[in-house]
Structure 1
Amino acid sequence: MAVAGRLAFPAADYPGIDPQWVRLWNEHGGSMVRADEVELEDYRKDPAKYSFTYSTYKGGWVLGGLQSEAAWCRHICNESNIKVIDVDYRMGPEHKFPTAIHDCWDAVKWAIKNADALNIDPKSVSFGGLSAGGQMSAVLAHLARDEAIAIKLHLMIVPATDMRYCHRSIKQLDKSNCPYESARLYQDLPWGPLGREQWFLKYWLGEDDDEQTRLLNNWKLTPVLAPNFADLPPAHIITAEFDLERDEGEYYGKLLRDAGNEVSLKRYTGVPHAFAHYNHPERGLSKSFEFIEDTAELLRAVHYDNSQ
């Protein structure tokens, strides 16, 4: 059934948007539901000792679950020959900032400590996530450096690296309250309108204006404010052309690069935030499949190329 009324996407207003995405959104966007209340998933291809990667799922720190990343995790496991561990971290509103970050970091350290039992190589570790997961991946890289834990790669997929412009008091983005052109241009798009971002923060940070201001100036929520960018693990950042978070993600990459870190970046054209999850085998988005193949190839090279 096609999406009707306010949910239909006004493609004519956004020249260059991928028509395949528009069709998929208009046909199926209204039926999307949250996926939660599931347990930890462990994906492995055979019993050999594996390199492994951690996945932190998207959902604004308040929605989602292991099922939302299952297709990606299975594909990465099969194509990259690495073990994938997806973390079912605690979410808001019951567990506010920074609980999710601490859960993910504890999970990484737990896996390394229990490498023999999990049959993984503790010296071949990477982690990554999408949107909120990308934000947490950025923070985890700093924590890993500070605790001298070697990480092969941290992967940030359409990451939320600076949400100060999403403070609950802001009604409309302009140059006076937001430095990122992509956020100003695409603040009304599906998958990332300003109101949706503020809704996430409402349940992760609370509704007090002063408290939101204080937390949004904490680098563990806003990684562009991190006090030290030196000596971080190699990074790969993925952005989407029509994503309001595009420019902040690319700016974060610049901060990493300016500090002398190894950084690669790819912007996927024609698609909005969370395009990577349009991966249904029959009704999927070609850019989503491209992303999955790209990521599998990258992780395979990172973990098994002797030059890395």
Structure 2
Amino acid sequence: MSHPSHPVHPELRASVRWFPSFSFNRFLLGILRRLNFSRLYKARSPEGITIENVWVPGPPGAPDLRVRKYEPAQRAPGSPALLWIHGGGYILGMPEQSDTVCGRFAKELGILVIAVDYRLAPEHPFPAPLEDCYAALSWMHSHAGELKIDANRLAIGGDSAGGGLAAALAQLTRDRKQIKPVFQLLLYPMLDDRTAIRADHKGTGKYIWTPGSNVFGWTSYLAQTPGGPSAPKYAVPARTEDLTGLPPAWLGTGTLDLFYEEDVEYARRLQASGVPCELHEVPGAYHAFEVFAGDAAISRDFIARQVAALKRALTATG
């Protein structure tokens, strides 16, 4: 796939001026872990949203799982719900980093949002993170009455590695046939380990998530060298040949994102498989740009499109 090298969008140039250039490794990961992300991501409770941590059963043989509930005031009983999966390259992060995102969805759509604190690689490689996400979704489905949500209107979504896990979760639920999510919201998802062995990244991956970080992230998650002849089923969503029968999707990515080509290709494959998929490409946008330049008009538009897509999907299934 050809891809012209786009300069950073004018509205985003100030945000990248002081970005450090580095790639993750075990040493840097250890430092960031020791910094204690609970301090870096202090809980920000959006107005009108109640946030609560709940412990739910993990996968068989695994520890209980923490999930974070975002409850809007006066939510209608039987509302839809969203399972949100945070990013972090499969190696870093926690639900608290998504307080703003989850609070926004809960408040603007009047839905319950659950964010899952899945286990991280390299200590817990595939399938542990994905099975944690499945366990959280299963809990939502089986406790729908207690949670006052509609078990038939559950959406899944995530950003970066969380988007990759959401895409994998959509495939897993399709094949296990126990839960049927109605929508997948994929923000610049990390979908294809073969990107890690590409020599030419065509001007992408300069900011935030670099080719070096991608190699480390995929190696940690797969517990093997990425880009090999095969990968475990469901570990790499882009390697799944049959995409038929998956939930409708919205996929957003920037043209400077390292995942740009793999994201566009996955969206086109979904469409070719008969899965409704709206693809939104943001010219000159780097990985997670709306997080670091939230006040930019293109960031606000990117966020508004997510909310609108989720609203359309959940309204259509009501």
Relative to the length of structure 2, the TM-score reads 0.78
Question: Residue in 1 aligned with 2:186?
Answer: 156
Is this contact kept in 2: 1:215–1:221, CA < 8 A?
no
Matched with 1:231 is 245
CA-atom RMSD in angstroms: 2.4
Q: Tell me which residue corresponds to 1:298.
A: 309
- Displacement of 1:47: 4.4
User: Structure 1 unaligned runs (5+)?
Assistant: 1-13, 175-182
Q: How many residues are treated as equivalent by the alignment?
A: 273
Deviations, residues 57-92 of structure 1 (Å, cap 9, x unaligned): 000111111121111111111111111111110001
Q: Which runs of 5+ in 2 are unaligned?
A: 22-31, 42-52, 54-66
Instruction: State the secondary structure of the residue aligned to 2:207.
Output: coil
Please name the residue that 1:71 is paired with. 100
Counterpart Cα distance in 2 of 1:137 and 1:131? 10
Task: Please say if residues 218 and 225 of structure 1, whose CA atoms lie closer than 8 Å, have aligned partners that are also in contact.
Answer: no
The letter of the residue matching 1:159 is P
Q: Deviations over 1:259-288 (max 9, x none)?
A: 1111111111221111132265xxx33322
Any residues of structure 2 matched to 1:208-223 within 5 Å, and which?
209=225, 212=226, 217-223=231-237
Answering whether residue 271 of structure 2 is matched by residue 271 of structure 1, we say no
Correspondences of 1:8-157 after superposition (within 5 Å): 16-27=7-18, 36=37, 40-45=67-72, 46-49=74-77, 50-148=79-177, 149-157=179-187
Q: CA deviation at 1:202?
A: 3.6
* AA at the equivalent of 1:298: A
1:255 paired residue number: 269
Amino acid at match of 2:139: W
User: Alignment partner for residue 173 of structure 1, among 190, 199, 205?
Assistant: 199
Aligned to 2:222: 205
Percent identical across equivalent pairs? 26
Once the two structures are TM-superposed, the CA of residue 200 in structure 1 deviates from its matched residue by: 1.6
Report the AA paired with residue 208 of structure 2.
W
Summarize deviations over 1:97-142 as a string: whole Å, max 9, x none: 2211110011101110011111211111100111111111111111
SS in 2 for 1:261: coil
Q: CA, structure 1 residues 213+268, in 2 after alignment: closer, same or farther (shift >3 Å)?
A: closer
SS of the residue corresponding to residue 129 of structure 2 reads helix
Residues 1:279 and 1:165: Cα distance change in structure 2 (over 3 Å): closer
Q: 1:5-60 deviations in whole A, cap 9, x for unaligned?
A: xxxxxxxxx65412332212325769xx6774595321111243221011100001
In the superposition, relative to structure 1, how do residues 29 and 216 fare at CA in structure 2: closer, same or farther (>3 Å)? Answer: farther
User: Residue 211 of structure 2 aligns with which residue?
Assistant: 194
Letter of the 1:125 counterpart: L
